[in-house]
């Protein structure tokens, strides 16, 4: 039986967007973790829909700078 996500729709959207950008740029979870000074385990937990971990605004700011992408790219044009 599959566990239901414990993240809101907007939280999961942002997590999926970060993962999409990360993988498109060929960056592993481990590399991203190193770039933003977090543990590899935390990054993996964020990307796991059944885990409570999620990105906060400071994480997203660092990710934006390190991956050289506009901060707004992590969010939908309109609310979900």
Examine residue 26 and state whether it is found in any structural domain, yes or no: yes
Examine residue 61 and state whether it is found in any structural domain, yes or no: yes
Residues 70 and 24: beta-carbon distance below 8 Å: no
Which tens digit of pLDDT belongs to each residue from 53-78?
999 999 999 999 999 999 999 999 99
- The pLDDT of residue 1 is 44
CATH code (residue 16): 1.10.260.40
Examine residue 1 and state whether it is found in any structural domain, yes or no: no
CA distance 57 to 48: 19
Examine residue 80 and state whether it is found in any structural domain, yes or no: no
CA distances from 73 to 14, 15, 29 (A): 9, 12, 19
Which tens digit of pLDDT belongs to each residue from 12-26?
999 999 999 999 999
Indicate the angle between helix axes 57-67 and 9-24, nearest 10 degrees. 20
Residues 18 and 70: beta-carbon distance below 8 Å: no
Number of domains in the chain: 1
Examine residue 42 and state whether it is found in any structural domain, yes or no: yes
Residue 2 clears pLDDT 80, i.e. is over it: no
Range of the domain at 61: 9-71
Note if the pTM is more than 0.85.
Answer: yes
Q: What is the mean pLDDT of the chain?
A: 95
């Amino acid at each position: 039986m599959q566990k239901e996500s414990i993240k809101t729709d907007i939280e999961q959207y942002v997590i999926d967007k970060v993962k999409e950008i990360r993988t498109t740029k060929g960056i592993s979870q481990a590399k991203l973790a190193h770039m933003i000074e977090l543990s590899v385990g935390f990054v993996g937990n964020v990307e796991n829909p059944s885990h409570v971990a999620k990105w906060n605004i400071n994480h997203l700011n660092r990710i934006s700078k390190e991956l050289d992408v506009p901060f707004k790219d992590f969010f939908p044009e309109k609310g979900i």
